[in-house]
Amino acid sequence: MQLAAIIVSLVLIAVGVALLGRAVAQFVRYFRLGAPVPAGTRTDEPVTRTVTVAKEFLGHTRMNKWGVVGVAHWFVAVGFFSLLLTIVNAIGQLFQADWLIPIIGDWLPWEIFVEFLGLMTTLGILALIVIRQLSKPGKAGRKSRFAGSNFRQAYFVEAVILIVGVCIMTLHALEGVQHGVDSYDAGYFASYPLVMAFQDLSLATVQNLTYFFAMLKIATSFIWMITVSLNIDMGVAWHRFLAFPNIWFKREASGDVALGALLPMVSDGKPIDFEDPGEDDQFGVSQVEHFSWKGLLDFSTCTECGRCQSQCPAWNTGKPLSPKLLIMALRDHSHAKAPYLLAGGGKTAEGEEKATEEQLKDVPAAALAEAERPLIGTLEENGVIDPDVLWSCTTCGACVEQCPVDIEHVDHIVDMRRYQVMIESSFPSEAGTMLKNLEKKGNPWGLAKKQRLAWTKEVDFEVPVVGKDIEDLTEVDYLYWVGCAGALEDRAKKTTKAFAELLHIAGVKFAIMGGDEACTGDSARRLGNEFLFQQLGQQNVEMLNMAFGEDSDDESTKKPKNKKRIVATCPHCFNTIANEYPQLGGEFEVIHHTQLLQHLIDEGKLVPVTPVEGLITYHDPCYLGRHNKVYTPPREIIAKVPGLRNEEMHRHKERGFCCGAGGARMWMEERIGKRINNERVDEALSLNPDIVSTACPFCLVMLTDSVNGKKNDGKAKESIQVVDVAQLLLESVKTPEEPADDGEPVSEPEPEPAK
């Protein structure tokens, strides 16, 4: 037994280590196939990045949001690395059954450590196995986060961990027998029943059992190593190694997720100059090798856990997009195409082959066939990613927020969209109207500039306009960025007027840009039209800098520097100006209107006094919540309004469900599956609320459309309202009107609507 155990174990160790070394070398060559990233963007602040990795791993910051799953996974993950010395111990036991690691082998803290983590790793993997079985797609269908995952690979990995855990506990018990443990010992608090069971066995039998279980532990571990080394696209196994560099090289050194701003378009690791682009500049991604090396690392790191899929609004409403399946498809394609690329293969912009026949002669036929597949294409075209998958994304960020290994799904989706829009001119036809309107009129509805001021005629106080009523913004506290929807869409204009009136009541000096304001370019950028975003953005940045008194290079004539404070009611405008305009040279202090309103309430400048009766539920806008972490102010405003009873929907805050308008989906029709706004409204209506509130004009439109549709179908009560929190606050801040002599309230006549 001992000889067989030694031979089997040493052979497997030698083969496993050799193949692991080869696999690591393959990964290095494979990741180098990706495009470079701008210098310093993934390696800045190395100490902070290292601390971030430690926090995310030891704290399991994402996984622990999933309760039992997170705790069980923590013990499995930590046990894998911290119990590596037990393999050394097992190797020693092959040659001497009672061998212990020198110095610490019989140290009580070490024995307790091995006992505890060995037990918890075993229990942890058992819990994960049970959870996987209870969540199998056969029972839950698309609702299962494991739908589409590779179950055979997952079962193999789970079986390996379970066997190793059992071996650790058994070997520890056998150690106790051979080292004279004959009564309860703290170092064997869990395996003590096994120690007692082995006590009556002969020494030879105990030794043979030690050889066998040591061999089983080593063989299982190195069979796993051999298997994963031969399958470097096996993300469910490799994520335990690749997660560390993937988190270390994440976009934000601070540990923040890759949301908020989109990355600037780059070609060969350098930003593209849109005023004078180079002839060889690559616009977006049309081949898998156009992704950066970090993108290729992302794809290989995916562990197929499906947390992204379970939160995705597209997948949850019957659409073909699953962030998990998209990343898996890109991973499988990139690995299958790698031999062709490593041989020098690739296509020019004109579609010509870069490599010679001689270079490609030894490339496997499967890799050559994979190289011919279009990255974006229908099933008939044998495309890697179907166009319906690509255009289903709302860029809500739920996938990025949930991913435990920090994959940057939204960036990759937008990169593929950029090529489709800017080079192929291939995108949903409805979006074309929006783009033309942005180009010609500066707003997605194609309305005239003067229409942006129409709402100001519907309020009974003056709204100063920069360049007309005031010279510049040095005279006011805030520039109110109204946004296209806030100025031009009837439902959103109600929010605009309510917020402006609240500022007027609070005595806050503000002004607007009026007709000089143009769309921030959010929808254009997320659709993939980076060029149009750059045009609109540069125009707005120049206009804003001038309005804030920085329009002169001559220091003698330059106006006093003003705080560049902007308040926006639209989270998309808020996100773009705050997070993306710095890429264009625009540095502004931007807040959302709910943040300012909360501040004014706290200062006592706005006092909610009139009760607004009813049950309310609040919908988190994705670009306010997940993208910018603004969750508290809207809820605090609601809490200050007397009479309101707030109840959260099941999916809220970090797990809030999208309204369906983000990622330029506002301008595209939903033709597949259930409408996302209907799914969200159904969730709201399950609470039987009187009011559905939000803090975004896009959300307001989407939720109102759905609620009105359900009213018409008799599925929603007629009295239910969909309003912005600013409208609620205004209703409460205003005191009830005094009744006239005839008992009717005295009120001003409604102003005529602007024509």
What pLDDT shows up at residue 354?
87
Instruction: Fill in the DSSP letter of residue 45.
Output: S
- Which segment of 155-159, 182-186, 527-531, 651-655 scores lowest on mean pLDDT? 182-186
Specify the pTM.
0.92
Residue 653, judged by CB atoms within 10 A of its CB (0-12, 13-18, 19+), counts as: middle
Q: What is the pLDDT of residues 422-446, one digit of tens each?
A: 999 999 999 999 999 999 999 999 9
C-alpha torsion 550→554→557→560, nearest 10: 40
| Alpha-carbon gap, residue 263 to 272, rounded angstroms | 12
Q: Where does the pLDDT of residue 743 fall: very low under 50, low under 70, confident under 90, or very high at 90 and above? A: very low
| Alpha-carbon gap, residue 726 to 295, rounded angstroms | 41
Q: Which amino acid is at 596?
A: L
What pLDDT shows up at residue 737?
63
What pLDDT shows up at residue 52?
95
What pLDDT shows up at residue 137?
84
| pLDDT at 246 > cutoff 70 | yes
End-to-end, the C-alpha distance of the chain in Å comes to 95
| pLDDT at 278 > cutoff 90 | no
CATH of 604-733 among 3.30.1380, 3.30.67, 3.30.70, 3.40.50? 3.40.50
Residues 6+ apart with CB under 8 A from 739: 745, 746
Q: What angle do CA 20, 25, 30 make, to 5 degrees?
A: 120
Report whether 734 contacts 610 (CB < 8 A): yes
Task: Give 726's strand partners.
Answer: none
Q: What is the pLDDT of residues 481-510, one digit of tens each?
A: 999 999 999 999 999 999 999 999 999 999
What pLDDT shows up at residue 138?
76
- Express as a percent the part of the chain with pLDDT over 90: 87
- Express as a percent the part of the chain with pLDDT over 70: 95
Q: Nearest Cα to 178, choosing from 92, 87, 99?
A: 99
What pLDDT shows up at residue 562?
58
Residues 6+ apart with CB under 8 A from 712: none
What pLDDT shows up at residue 735?
75
Q: What is the pLDDT of residues 660-719, one digit of tens each?
A: 999 999 999 999 999 999 999 999 999 999 999 999 999 999 999 999 999 999 999 999
Q: Which amino acid is at 454?
A: A
Mean pLDDT, range 367-393, rounded to an integer: 96
3-state secondary structure of 614: strand
Q: Which amino acid is at 743?
A: G
Structure tokens at 682: 């159904």
Report whether 198 contacts 207 (CB < 8 A): no
Which residue bears the tokens 């599956």?
A: 673
Mean pLDDT, range 545-558, rounded to an integer: 65
Angle formed by the axes of helices 2-31 and 323-342, to 10°?
Answer: 90
Q: Supply φ then ψ for residue 691, to 5 degrees.
A: -135, 135
Q: What is the pLDDT of residues 527-536, one digit of tens each?
A: 999 999 999 9
Q: Where does the pLDDT of residue 65 fall: very low under 50, low under 70, confident under 90, or very high at 90 and above? A: confident
| Alpha-carbon gap, residue 707 to 358, rounded angstroms | 64
Mean pLDDT, range 178-186, rounded to an integer: 90
Mean pLDDT, range 208-215, rounded to an integer: 96
| Alpha-carbon gap, residue 719 to 706, rounded angstroms | 14
Alpha carbon 681 to its chain's center: 23
What pLDDT shows up at residue 744?
47
Q: What is the pLDDT of residues 105-129, one digit of tens each?
A: 889 999 999 999 999 999 999 999 9
Q: What is the pLDDT of residues 123-178, one digit of tens each?
A: 999 999 999 998 888 767 888 999 999 999 999 999 999 999 999 999 999 999 99
Report whether 467 contacts 505 (CB < 8 A): no
What pLDDT shows up at residue 238?
96
Residue 731, judged by CB atoms within 10 A of its CB (0-12, 13-18, 19+), counts as: middle
Mean pLDDT of the chain: 93
The residue extents of the domains of the chain are 2-32+67-230, 33-62+235-272+284-347+366-426, 440-601, 604-733
